[in-house]
Chain A
Amino acid sequence: MIWGVVFFPGSNCDRDCVHALRSVVGHTVVEVWHEDQSLDGIDALVLPGGFSYGDYLRSGAIAATAPVMRAVRELAARGAPVLGICNGFQILTEAGLLPGTLLHNASLRFRCHPAWVRVESDRTPFTAGLRPGTVLRMPVAHGEGAYFAPPAEVAALEDAGRVVFRYCDPHGRVTPAANPNGSVAGIAGVSSDSGNVVGLMPHPERASEALLGSIDGRRLFESVIGALVGAG
């Protein structure tokens, strides 16, 4: 299968995602430039972390209007797997492809440390190979990662199984202490209604090799193969 990783000016996890997909998972990766108009031939797409366009105005706001985003919308509408990681998650919410928004961390500080999330839904291509309740260790590194949506919308997301990841402790317990940023209901990641577009704040590409402390993140990428084969 062929992955695309979008390079926005100011993205800084773009090369890390390419490394994880190409050198660790062993897939073919196309580097997509932010001005590209077409995503033809790409089976799944990653919007990486970083500070696209300096995160000026609001995080992800300028990237959401980048030339490539029209093709991203089309790809998403076709049902292809689209994953926004950290700044990529912020971009997807700014683009309206995912609900809610990401606020400043409750600490008002950038925080970078290991975190644990519980898989809440297997109805996305990135979690199709994971049992709900599975605990994954993946680091967070963000200043604006507090997920927020109005209570009614959060309830609707929960009902529809669109909360994909929730912060937890290493044993899978969802506690206030395990929530690193003040996200509502401990939400670390959500999906689109159709499930193929997923955004999350933790970094699976930083948790794809044992040498870096965790291989749990790799399971998100590997899950997509099974999902595509199953769908195909």
Chain B
Amino acid sequence: MTRAAAVDTAALTGLPVSDYREICRRLGRDPNPVEARMYGVMWSEHCGYKHSRATLRRLPTSSPRVLTGPGENAGVVSIGRGWALAFKMESHNHPSAVDPYNGAATGVGGIIRDILAMGARPVALLNSLRFGPLDDPRARRLCSGVVAGIAGYGNAVGVPTVGGELLTAACYRDNPLVNVACLGLVRVDRVARSAAEGSGSAVLYAGARTGRDGIGGAAFASTELDEGRAQADRASVQMGDPFTGKLLIEATLEALATGAVTAIQDMGAAGLTCALSEMAARGRVGMAIDLDRVPLREAGMRPEEILLSESQERMLLVVRAEEVERAAAAYRRWGLAAEVIGQVTADPRLRVTAGGRTIVDLPPETLADAPIYDPPSAVPAGLEARWRLDPAAVPAPDPLEALLLLLRHPDVASKRGIYEQYDHMVGVRTVTPPGADAAVLRLITAPPLGLALTSDGNGRWCASDPRRGSALSVIEAAANLACAGAEPLAVTDCLNFGSPERPEVFWTFRETIEGIAEACEALGVPVIGGNVSFYNEAEGGEGHGRAVFPTPVVAMVGLLDDVTRAGRMGFAREGDPIVLLGAPGGTLGASLYQHAFQDEVRGRPSDPELELSARAIACVREAVRSGLVSSVHDASDGGIAVALAESCVAGGMGASVTLPDGPVAEVWFGEGPARFVASLPPERLDALSELACRNGVPVHVLGHAGGPALHLAQAGSAGAADPIELPLAQLTEAWEGLEV
């Protein structure tokens, strides 16, 4: 190849020159233009995890229940009774910023296929969303489009959206975060794999036909957003078809049930290129593929377009040659395409032909294993200065007004206007619908077992102290599960950051991983998979230049041994004593209260106190499982005062409460790890105190449930706030007031 041609080929990859040299070194030659574009997407940050892979090794990934850890399409964990769950979360931030409806819809479709690729029937979705303040027109537009896209795809595909979260901050205005998790169920002996095997086995393409949509989407997701390019980028956003997605679920489960399929993977980011190279590389085999056999939607597609298309609703299967018709018949029965496009070869090379000509010939692992970087990291300037916070300097109104404002805040307010747009009941598994601490599903095939699901992430905390913030997010997720009575089984996470090429962003990323790892180790919960989304930067950022808050989102699934005893967050009986489980003190550093009344995040979130938090979580779980408590709710955003108000609204009754002595704002609205507001019949108070004492968890009796209003007073001395009284109707009006 001439020098000028080599330079052009390097440009085709869109990769740094150092990456291009590495490609040439691995191949022993320059790649041809088609191969160059394949390396370009496979070595993009989105597919290649170049900046993150080394750091991610820090996460704990094993437990006796883990059947499949990170590295497969989704993690798989044994539930018991012969069943396992598959669980995975992914981001679709950049596509959603450009085309909120289709970006979010295809995010849902993509995560469903990851679960399907494990042989599991998808049974639940969660979504974790971040937008700018909802009074901003652009944020509002993105929010309504994203919610409509999740609803449009999820409702039609027949997988219930059972939970999620929505938080707002100015830094997400132009770069929203759209993270979607899916849970699936599979029999332990039916878990599918993606490693191709068996020389001579058929490579079966199944599902929708291939079109020109989404070409280069993975590469698009690996750069910062540029408003001027929004029109051009639209071609990088895929279009989803939930009807075909639904057919793909049923047909794939039928095809897998034939027993003829030995490996399967979905075609998502980087399309056919990714599926071919990853399946071959994982199986240490080769593949001989004829592009002329790929079912196409339109004539005249060039080979590289076929290889890179991110058309949705497609799967790639390896099937024993003599049984391929049985697998293909399942797809055809559901009206989907199913074509053998090649064979597995013992020679570990990926060879692709088009029009009888070989256009790609390379070792698949050179595509699948992108280089691992060791980026520089640096503590952000002024970090410790931002940890200083004078609570008195927070310009907040009096406690009554502050409580109402926090209840109206989008981060706290009921998301009813959103989750009622989602079918959260289809599948007849939903025992606790959205709106509680955690969603609860029953296992129809293994009663009375149940699963609880939650997703939690707090960019404010992480912007201040990523290590503490991410650990606190893990603790909060486990606390939410404890409120349902569930024991954590597994975590999948979505790590949303700015450009890893900036040392202070990369430092934040490393600290975040450390925090997640420490908290997961303290709780004994493995991280079984997830996704990293870098380059979440656009105009409008705050705190870290143009980047979004460092936002790790933790989705956690837990097991209930008896779903009929799932915990409830609303006060249940008039006169029930109300207790606080956990340390009474909170901190205002990087709290919702602080950020709601000051423009920038200041102060430092509290120490996660992992050992105490783990004990408090175990204590609450035991209290729910043994039926000691009538209600329990974790105090998170907005602190104990907000948690009390929420339990009032959810239970449809007031409460009379006296908060402990101490600085007003800290005691009422401060945030801290693993603190719970519970109510219970008076005769069980001793048993609960004994349980808490055994676990070394502080207990304070705060008052009792009942009456038409929430009465809040504070014990003690100087500086205590005047008592307030808020009628239930006023609390409800504030909390239910969010319009989206």
* A contacts, CB < 8 Å to B: 9-10, 12-13, 15-16, 19-20, 23, 49-51, 53-56, 109-113, 139, 141, 143, 203, 205-206, 208-209, 211-212
Residues from chain A with a CB closer than 8 A to the CB of B615 are none
Interface residues of B in 59-104 (CB under 8 A from A): none
Contact B428 A16 (CB under 8 A): yes
- A159, chain B: closest CB distance, angstroms: 35
Residues from chain B with a CB closer than 8 A to the CB of A211 are 431, 442, 563-564
Contact B428 A205 (CB under 8 A): yes
Residues from chain B with a CB closer than 8 A to the CB of A16 are 426-428
- Complex CA gap A54/B158 in Å reads 11
* Given contacts A10-B246, A16-B428, A110 and B423 within 8 Å (CB-CB): yes
- Identify A113's interface contact among B151, B156, B335, B420, CB under 8 A: B420
* Given contacts A12-B158, A111-B421, A56 and B428 within 8 Å (CB-CB): no
Contact B425 A203 (CB under 8 A): yes
Contact B420 A212 (CB under 8 A): no
Question: Is B597 part of the contact surface with A, judged by Cβ < 8 Å?
Answer: no
- Complex CA gap A50/B419 in Å reads 18
Q: Top 8 closest A-B pairs, CB basis?
A: A12-B158, A54-B243, A51-B156, A16-B428, A141-B423, A112-B423, A113-B420, A10-B243
Chain A residue with the shortest CB-CB distance to B247: A9
Residues from chain B with a CB closer than 8 A to the CB of A209 are 428
- Identify A10's interface contact among B156, B424, B425, CB under 8 A: B156
Task: Name the interface size band of chain B.
Answer: 20 to 34
Interface residues of B in 405-463 (CB under 8 A from A): 419-428, 430-431, 442, 444
Residues from chain A with a CB closer than 8 A to the CB of B507 are none
* Given contacts A19-B428, A110-B151, A51 and B242 within 8 Å (CB-CB): yes
Residues from chain A with a CB closer than 8 A to the CB of B421 are 109-112
- 20 A-B pairs besides A55-B243, A112-B422, A139-B425 with CB distance below 8 A are A9-B246, A9-B247, A9-B335, A10-B243, A12-B158, A12-B426, A16-B426, A19-B444, A50-B156, A50-B158, A53-B243, A54-B243, A110-B155, A112-B423, A141-B155, A141-B425, A143-B155, A209-B428, A211-B563, A212-B430
Contact A112 B420 (CB under 8 A): yes
Chain A residue with the shortest CB-CB distance to B250: A9
Tell me the interface secondary structure of chain A in the complex.
Answer: mixed
- Identify B243's interface contact among A51, A111, A205, A208, CB under 8 A: A51
Residues from chain A with a CB closer than 8 A to the CB of B420 are 111-113
- Complex CA gap A110/B155 in Å reads 9
Chain A residue with the shortest CB-CB distance to B156: A51
Question: Is B387 part of the contact surface with A, judged by Cβ < 8 Å?
Answer: no
- Complex CA gap A10/B151 in Å reads 15
Residues from chain B with a CB closer than 8 A to the CB of A12 are 156-158, 246, 426
Residues from chain B with a CB closer than 8 A to the CB of A13 are 158, 426
Interface string of B11-50 (1 = CB under 8 A from A): 0000000000000000000000000000000000000000
Contact A206 B564 (CB under 8 A): no
- B568, chain A: closest CB distance, angstroms: 12
Question: Is B241 part of the contact surface with A, judged by Cβ < 8 Å?
Answer: yes
21 A-B pairs in the complex with CB atoms less than 8 angstroms apart: A9-B246, A9-B334, A9-B335, A12-B158, A13-B158, A16-B427, A19-B444, A51-B246, A55-B243, A56-B243, A110-B151, A110-B155, A110-B422, A111-B421, A112-B421, A139-B425, A206-B428, A212-B425, A212-B428, A212-B430, A212-B431
- Identify A54's interface contact among B156, B334, B427, B431, CB under 8 A: B156
Interface string of B452-483 (1 = CB under 8 A from A): 00000000000000000000000000000000
- Complex CA gap A141/B161 in Å reads 12
- A141, chain B: closest CB distance, angstroms: 5
Chain A residue with the shortest CB-CB distance to B243: A54
Contact A206 B425 (CB under 8 A): yes
* B contacts, CB < 8 Å to A: 151, 155-158, 241-244, 246-247, 334-335, 419-428, 430-431, 442, 444, 563-564
Residues from chain A with a CB closer than 8 A to the CB of B428 are 16, 19-20, 205-206, 208-209, 212
Residues from chain A with a CB closer than 8 A to the CB of B424 are 112
Residues from chain A with a CB closer than 8 A to the CB of B423 are 110, 112, 141
Residues from chain A with a CB closer than 8 A to the CB of B155 are 51, 110, 112, 141, 143
Contact B431 A112 (CB under 8 A): no
Residues from chain A with a CB closer than 8 A to the CB of B247 are 9-10
- B634, chain A: closest CB distance, angstroms: 23
Residues from chain B with a CB closer than 8 A to the CB of A56 are 243
Chain B residue with the shortest CB-CB distance to A206: B425
Contact A55 B156 (CB under 8 A): yes
Chain B residue with the shortest CB-CB distance to A139: B425
Chain B residue with the shortest CB-CB distance to A56: B243
- A186, chain B: closest CB distance, angstroms: 19
- Complex CA gap A15/B247 in Å reads 14
Residues from chain A with a CB closer than 8 A to the CB of B158 are 12-13, 50-51
- Complex CA gap A11/B544 in Å reads 47
- Complex CA gap A209/B427 in Å reads 13
- Complex CA gap A123/B428 in Å reads 29
Residues from chain B with a CB closer than 8 A to the CB of A112 are 155, 419-425
- Complex CA gap A196/B334 in Å reads 31
Residues from chain A with a CB closer than 8 A to the CB of B564 are 211
Residues from chain B with a CB closer than 8 A to the CB of A113 are 420
Chain B residue with the shortest CB-CB distance to A210: B564
- A3, chain B: closest CB distance, angstroms: 16
- Complex CA gap A112/B564 in Å reads 23
Residues from chain B with a CB closer than 8 A to the CB of A141 are 155, 423, 425-426
- A133, chain B: closest CB distance, angstroms: 26
Contact B242 A54 (CB under 8 A): yes
Residues from chain B with a CB closer than 8 A to the CB of A212 are 425, 428, 430-431
Residues from chain A with a CB closer than 8 A to the CB of B243 are 9-10, 51, 53-56
- Complex CA gap A113/B430 in Å reads 12
- Complex CA gap A9/B333 in Å reads 10
- B417, chain A: closest CB distance, angstroms: 9
- A15, chain B: closest CB distance, angstroms: 8
- A23, chain B: closest CB distance, angstroms: 8
Residues from chain A with a CB closer than 8 A to the CB of B419 are 112
- Complex CA gap A212/B242 in Å reads 26
Chain A residue with the shortest CB-CB distance to B428: A16
- Complex CA gap A142/B478 in Å reads 33
Chain A residue with the shortest CB-CB distance to B440: A211
Residues from chain B with a CB closer than 8 A to the CB of A19 are 428, 444
Residues from chain B with a CB closer than 8 A to the CB of A206 are 425-426, 428
- A46, chain B: closest CB distance, angstroms: 14
- Complex CA gap A111/B423 in Å reads 8
- Complex CA gap A51/B155 in Å reads 9
- B319, chain A: closest CB distance, angstroms: 23
- B440, chain A: closest CB distance, angstroms: 10
- Complex CA gap A128/B442 in Å reads 32
- B239, chain A: closest CB distance, angstroms: 13
- Complex CA gap A50/B243 in Å reads 10
- B356, chain A: closest CB distance, angstroms: 37
Residues from chain A with a CB closer than 8 A to the CB of B426 are 12-13, 16, 49, 141, 206
- A211, chain B: closest CB distance, angstroms: 6
- Complex CA gap A16/B158 in Å reads 11
Chain B residue with the shortest CB-CB distance to A15: B427
- Complex CA gap A55/B156 in Å reads 9
- B292, chain A: closest CB distance, angstroms: 29
- Complex CA gap A139/B420 in Å reads 11
- Complex CA gap A141/B433 in Å reads 13
- Complex CA gap A203/B424 in Å reads 13
Chain B residue with the shortest CB-CB distance to A12: B158
- Complex CA gap A12/B335 in Å reads 16
Residues from chain A with a CB closer than 8 A to the CB of B444 are 19, 23
Chain A residue with the shortest CB-CB distance to B251: A9
- Complex CA gap A111/B424 in Å reads 10
- Complex CA gap A125/B241 in Å reads 38
Residues from chain A with a CB closer than 8 A to the CB of B242 are 51, 54
- B344, chain A: closest CB distance, angstroms: 31
